[in-house]
Amino acid sequence: MNKTITIDGLSVPFQEGQTIMDAALAAGVYIPRLCHNPEFKPHGSCKLCTVKVNGRNVASCTMPAVEGQQVLNDTDELNADRLALTQMLFVEGNHLCPACEKSGNCQLQAVAYYLGMMSPHYNHFYPQREVDASHPDVILDRNRCIYCELCVRASRDADGKNVFGLSGRGIQSSLVVNSASGRLGDTSLAATDKAVQVCPTGAILQKGKGFTVPIGRRVFDHHTIKEIQTGGGHD
Amino acid sequence: MTERQIRLATCSLAGCFGCHMSFLDIDERLFDLVELIEFDRTPLTDIKHCGPCDVGIVEGGVCNAENVHVLKEFRKNCKVLVAIGACAINGGLPSLRNNIDLWDCFQEVYQYEGGLEGGVVPNDPELPLPFDKVHPIYEVVKVDYFLPGCPPSGDAIWRFLTDLLAGREPKLEYEQLHFD
Ligand code: SF4
Ligand code: SF4
Among 3.40.50.10790, 2.40.110.20, 3.30.70.20, 3.40.190.10, name the CATH number for the domain at A81-209: 3.30.70.20
**Has residue A204 got a pLDDT over 60?**
yes
For the domain spanning A3-74, the CATH number is: 3.10.20.740
Query: Could A123 and B93 be called an inter-chain contact, meaning their C-beta atoms sit closer than 8 Å?
Result: no
pLDDT of residue A36: 97
CA distance B153 to chain A (A): 13
Window 11-30 of B, Cβ < 8 Å to A: none
Cβ of A143 below 6 Å from ligand 1 = no
Closest ligand to Cα B95: 1
Which residue type is seen at A36?
H
CA distance B99 to chain A (A): 6
Whether the CB of B140 is below 8 Å from some CB of chain A: the reply is: no
- Could you write out the three-class secondary structure of chain B? CCCCCEEEEEEECECCCHHHHHHHCCCCHHHHHHHHEEECCCCCCCCCCCCCEEEEEEECEEEEHHHHHHHHHHHHHEEEEEEEHHHHHHCCHHHHHHHCCHHHHHHHHHHHCCCCCCCCCCCCCCCCCEEEEEECHHHCCCCCEEECCCCCCHHHHHHHHHHHHCCCCCCCCHHHCCCC
Whether the CB of A90 is below 8 Å from some CB of chain B: the reply is: yes
Query: Could B99 and A116 be called an inter-chain contact, meaning their C-beta atoms sit closer than 8 Å?
Result: no
C-alpha A106/C-alpha A112 separation (Å) is 10
Q: Alpha carbon of A227 to those of A85, A221, B174: distances in Å?
A: 21, 12, 12
pLDDT of residue B10: 98
Chain B partners within 8 Å of A94 (Cβ): 95, 98-99
CB-based pocket (< 6 A), ligand 2:
A 145-151, 175, 198-199, 201, 203-204
Query: Could B91 and A95 be called an inter-chain contact, meaning their C-beta atoms sit closer than 8 Å?
Result: no
Query: What string of pLDDT tens digits covers the 180 residues of chain B?
Result: 455 689 999 999 999 999 999 999 999 999 999 999 999 999 999 999 999 999 999 999 999 999 999 999 999 999 999 999 999 999 999 999 999 999 999 999 888 887 777 788 888 999 999 999 999 999 999 999 999 999 999 999 999 999 999 999 999 999 999 999
Distance, CA of A138 to chain centre: 19
Question: If you average pLDDT over residues A82-99, what whole number do you get?
Answer: 97
Domains along the sequence of chain B with CATH: 6-96+132-176 (3.40.50.700)
Residue A76 CA neighbour count, 13 Å, CB half: 0
Query: Could B83 and A119 be called an inter-chain contact, meaning their C-beta atoms sit closer than 8 Å?
Result: yes
Whether the CB of B156 is below 8 Å from some CB of chain A: the reply is: no
CATH topology of A3-74 equal to that of A81-209? no
Window 94-123 of B, Cβ < 8 Å to A: 95-96, 98-99
Whether the CB of A216 is below 8 Å from some CB of chain B: the reply is: no
CA distance A70 to chain B (A): 30
Closest ligand to Cα A175: 2
Please state the domain extents for chain A: 3-74, 81-209
Residue A90 CA neighbour count, 13 Å, CB half: 29
Which pLDDT tens digit goes with each residue over A91-130?
999 999 999 999 999 999 999 999 999 999 999 999 999 9
Supply the DSSP symbol for B129.
P
pLDDT of residue B3: 56
Candidates A97, A126, A128; nearest CB to B86: A97
